[in-house]
């Protein structure tokens, strides 16, 4: 359980990092940030990158700030940065609640928000967050900078729209309105394990009725996504048990479930139904 041989590069500037990435992109060059997903799969030799570009010394990538519209999260920001609210916006409370479901404390001290998105594990809490809230990914390469919408970013299990020579330098999350409601629920067999299904929901209340509902489901399909059918079941309804159950059932019906040895399709649909309803119930607490 030792990684295959690789060369580690330690750039100090973003330009150096992008230059090296451009050179080694063709040889399965990978970005190393927290290493909490990449290093284990290298140890199993499921990944054998010839080059690692360690960005832990790159200045400026630890940016974590809000401009009043979006929260910008740099490539070196660790999960643990969200253990306490990072702004007074409602989004910060959401991120703090979600963060404590990520793996275990030592992992949260090393792993990064952007690394989690670039890795694109179907069960990742941050991928679910990005997909649900409509994050914008800022991809940089020597060729330039481009922005990718979350709905275009996730392409499947551990697969994203990033090109081989692109670094996910920053992720921008839209801030929430002060009256926004959010709820989150995930199911796993042991504390800290990958979610077998997870849901994040947000909505506003207009005259006591739900509006702008977002219902995200993770861990159930190759990529996390918003479930329109469930959102439609909420918008215009009161936030009550009937509406929540209807949305949960709609989500369960809408997903095309991933299967594995501990979760067949029927069971995954059961779990989607449960996590969506419980996330909605959580929004009321």
Partner 1 sequence: MTAHTKGTGMKWVGRAIRRLEDPALVTGQGHFTADLPAEHWVRFVRSPNAAGTIDSIKAPDGAMLITAADLKAVKKITPMLHKFEYRPVGQSILADGIVRYVGEAVAAIVAPSEEEAEDIADLVELNIGATAPVVDARDALSAGAPQIHAEAPGNVILKGEVKTAGFDGVWTSAAKIVKVDARSHRQNATPMEARAAHAAYDKASGRVTLTCTTQMPHLMRTAIADLLGIAESDLRVIAPDVGGGFGQKMSLCAEYVLLVWLALRLKSSVAWTEDRRENLIASFHSRDQYIALEGAFDKDAKLLALRADVVSNVGAYSCFPTTSGVEPLMAMAEMPGPYDVQQYQCLARGVLTNTCTMAAYRGVSRPIITFTLERLMDKAAKAFHLDPVDIRRRNLIDKFPYTSATGLIYDEATYKQTLEMAVHEIDLPAFRLRQKEARAKGRYLGIGFATFSERTGYGSPAFAARGMAITPGWETVHVSVDPSGYVEARIGSSPHGQGLRTTLAQIIADELGIPPDLIKVVHGDTDTAPYGWGTFASRSLVISGGATLIAARKVRAKLIKIASHMLEAAESDIVLEDGAAKVAGTDRSVTVATMAREIYTQTHRFKGELEPGISESGTYDPPGTFSNACHIAIVELDPETGHVKVDRYLVAEDAGRIINPMIADGQVHGGIAQGLGNALLEEIVYDESGGILTANLADYMPPTAREMPHIELHHMETPSTQSITKAKGLGEGGTIGAPAALLNAINDALTPFGVEIDTIPATPQRIRAALRAAEQATKKSA
**Residue 215 and residue 125: Cα distance in Å, rounded?**
14
Among 174, 194, 205, 209, binds partner 1 (CB under 8 A): 194
Q: Which of 88, 147, 152, 193 binds partner 1 (CB under 8 A)?
A: 193
Residue 5 binds partner 1, judged by CB under 8 A: yes
Closest CB 1 distance from partner 1, rounded Å: 4
Other Cβ atoms within 10 Å of 206 Cβ, number:
12
Give the residue, chosen from 68, 208, 260, 285, that forms a contact with partner 1 under the rule CB under 8 A.
260
Exposed/middle/buried for residue 159 (C-beta within 10 Å: 0-12, 13-18, 19+) = exposed
Q: How far is the CB of 232 from partner 1 (least distance, A)?
A: 23
List 64, 109, 161, 274, residue binding partner 1 (CB under 8 A): 274
Residues near partner 1 (CB under 8 A), total: 24
**By CB under 8 A, residue 97 contacts partner 1:** no
Least separation in angstroms between residue 190's CB and partner 1 is: 6
Closer residue to partner 1 in complex, CB, 91/201? 201
Q: Does 270 bind partner 1 (CB under 8 A)?
A: yes
Single out the residue of 12, 45, 63, 100 in contact with partner 1 (rule: CB under 8 A).
45
- What b/e sequence results for 249-284 when a residue is b if at least 16 CB atoms lie within 10 Å of its CB, and e otherwise? bbbbebbebbeeeebeeeebbbbbbbbbbbbbbbbe
Judging by DSSP bridges, how do beta strands 51-54 and 64-66 pair with one another? unpaired
- Strand-strand pairing, 51-54 and 7-9: parallel
Q: What is the dihedral of CA 71, 145, 76, 225, to 10 degrees?
A: 60
Q: What minimum distance in Å lies between the beta carbon of 279 and partner 1?
A: 13
In whole angstroms, what is the distance from residue 172 CA to residue 182 CA? 18
d(CA 51, CA 30): 6
Start-to-end CA span in the chain (Å): 45
Q: According to the binding rule CB under 8 A, does residue 256 interact with partner 1?
A: no
CB of 263 to partner 1, least distance (A): 6
Q: Which is closer to partner 1, CB of 171 or CB of 275?
A: 275
Report the alpha-carbon distance of residue 109 to residue 184 in Å, rounded: 22
The residues that touch partner 1, with contacts defined as CB under 8 A, are 1-2, 4-5, 44-45, 187, 189-194, 260-264, 266-267, 270-271, 273-274
């Amino acid at each position: 359980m030792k990684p295959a041989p690789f060369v580690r590069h330690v750039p100090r500037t973003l330009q150096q990092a992008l230059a090296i990435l451009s050179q080694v992109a063709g040889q399965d060059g990978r970005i190393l940030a927290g290493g909490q997903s990449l290093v284990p799969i290298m140890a199993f030799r499921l990944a054998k990158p010839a080059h690692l570009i360690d960005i832990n010394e790159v200045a400026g990538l630890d940016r974590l700030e809000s401009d009043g519209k979006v929260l910008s999260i740099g490539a070196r920001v660790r999960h643990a940065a969200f253990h306490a609210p990072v702004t007074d916006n409602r989004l910060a409370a959401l991120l703090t609640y979600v963060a404590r479901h990520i793996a275990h404390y030592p992992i949260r001290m090393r792993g990064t928000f952007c690394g989690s998105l670039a890795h694109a594990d179907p069960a990742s809490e941050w991928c679910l967050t990005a997909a649900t809230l409509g994050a914008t990914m800022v991809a940089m390469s020597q060729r330039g900078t481009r922005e990718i919408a979350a709905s275009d970013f996730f392409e499947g299990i551990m697969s994203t729209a990033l090109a081989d020579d692109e670094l996910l330098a920053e992720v921008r999350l839209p801030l929430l309105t002060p009256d926004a409601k959010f709820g989150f629920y995930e199911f796993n067999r042991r504390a800290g394990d990958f979610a077998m299904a997870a849901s994040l929901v947000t909505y506003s209340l207009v005259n006591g009725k739900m509006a702008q509902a977002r219902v995200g489901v993770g861990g159930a399909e190759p990529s996390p996504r918003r479930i329109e059918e469930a959102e439609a079941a909420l918008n215009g309804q009161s936030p009550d048990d009937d509406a929540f159950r209807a949305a949960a059932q709609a989500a369960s019906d809408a997903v095309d479930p991933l299967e594995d040895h501990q979760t067949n399709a029927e069971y995954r649909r059961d779990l989607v139904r449960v996590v969506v309803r419980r996330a909605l119930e959580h929004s009321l607490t």
